[in-house]
């Protein structure tokens, strides 16, 4: 049973560019959440998708957007990249009816903006 | 606003000994969930233990146990019989619809 799969594992982009990160949830999960983890810090909530809609959003600018597909997979898009966007981006999946039983996290995408 | 504080940036423990990692949180909610996650160099967050706020009994998972003090908003993790494989970053997290994570504690295990 595959867990959460994220791609790519590493990415280097230039300031001002746009990037798309992808996440496939664990089998049986229907909700995907995205987190940004800066170096030496804990993850911070970006947003959560369920039924192809953004359900909740953290304190991130509109440059951060997402999408969820009918197969529950999700994309995180970041426009006009800044140096401060360099971080590990984690995807976590869960079941909408069992959120608090814990989420399954992927291994993340390491984004470096130069 | 919900916040999670881990006041120990780094800790060390001798193999086979016991170590306690501290965590405090702030919330106005009464029904929520608390977690400890382990993040090894592989980067994946691994669930260590979970506590439901409405349960008074402290959660245990093999060598891992918590001391949950709801009134004090404290949620510490005790690791007994520490093993080399326990070395990692440990994050305390509060969950009420979404996760709020602390800044983490790096645990070193000495052979």
Q: What is the Cα–Cα distance from B99 to A43, expressed in whole angstroms?
A: 9
Residue of A nearest to B48 (CA): A102
Nearest Cβ partner for A42 among B52, B95, B102: B102
Phi/psi for A30 (5° steps) reads -125, 0
Q: Is A102 within 8 Å of B52 when comparing Cβ atoms?
A: no
State whether residue A89 is helix, strand or coil. strand
Sign of CA dihedral B67, B72, B90, B93: positive
Collect all residues of chain B within an 8 Å Cβ-Cβ radius of residue A45: 98-100
A107 within 8 A of B42, measured Cβ to Cβ: yes
Written as tens digits, the pLDDT of chain B (111 aa) is: 679 999 999 999 999 999 999 999 999 888 899 999 999 987 889 999 999 998 889 999 999 999 999 999 999 999 999 999 999 999 999 988 788 999 999 999 999
Q: Is B91 within 8 Å of A44 when comparing Cβ atoms?
A: no
Q: What is the Cα–Cα distance from B28 to B30, expressed in whole angstroms?
A: 7
């Amino acid at each position: 049973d595959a867990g959460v799969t994220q791609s790519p594992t590493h990415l280097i982009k230039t300031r001002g560019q746009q990037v798309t990160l992808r996440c496939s949830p664990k089998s049986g999960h229907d909700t995907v959440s995205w987190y940004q983890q800066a170096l030496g810090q804990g993850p911070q909530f970006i947003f959560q998708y369920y039924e192809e809609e953004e359900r909740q959003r953290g304190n991130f600018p509109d440059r951060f957007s997402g999408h969820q597909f009918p197969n529950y997979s999700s994309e995180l898009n970041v426009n006009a990249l800044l140096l401060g966007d360099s971080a590990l981006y984690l995807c976590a999946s869960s079941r909408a009816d069992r959120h608090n039983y814990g989420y399954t996290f992927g291994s993340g995408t390491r984004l470096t903006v130069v | 606003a919900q916040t999670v504080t881990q006041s120990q940036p780094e800790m060390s423990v001798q193999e086979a000994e016991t170590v306690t990692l501290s965590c405090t949180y702030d919330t106005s909610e009464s029904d929520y969930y608390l977690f400890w996650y382990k993040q090894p160099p592989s980067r994946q967050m691994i669930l260590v233990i979970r506590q439901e706020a409405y349960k008074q009994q402290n959660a245990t998972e093999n060598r891992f146990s918590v001391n949950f003090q709801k009134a004090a908003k404290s949620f510490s993790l005790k690791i007994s019989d520490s093993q080399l494989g326990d070395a990692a970053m440990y994050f305390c997290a509060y969950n009420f619809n979404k996760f709020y994570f602390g800044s983490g504690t790096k645990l070193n295990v000495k052979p």
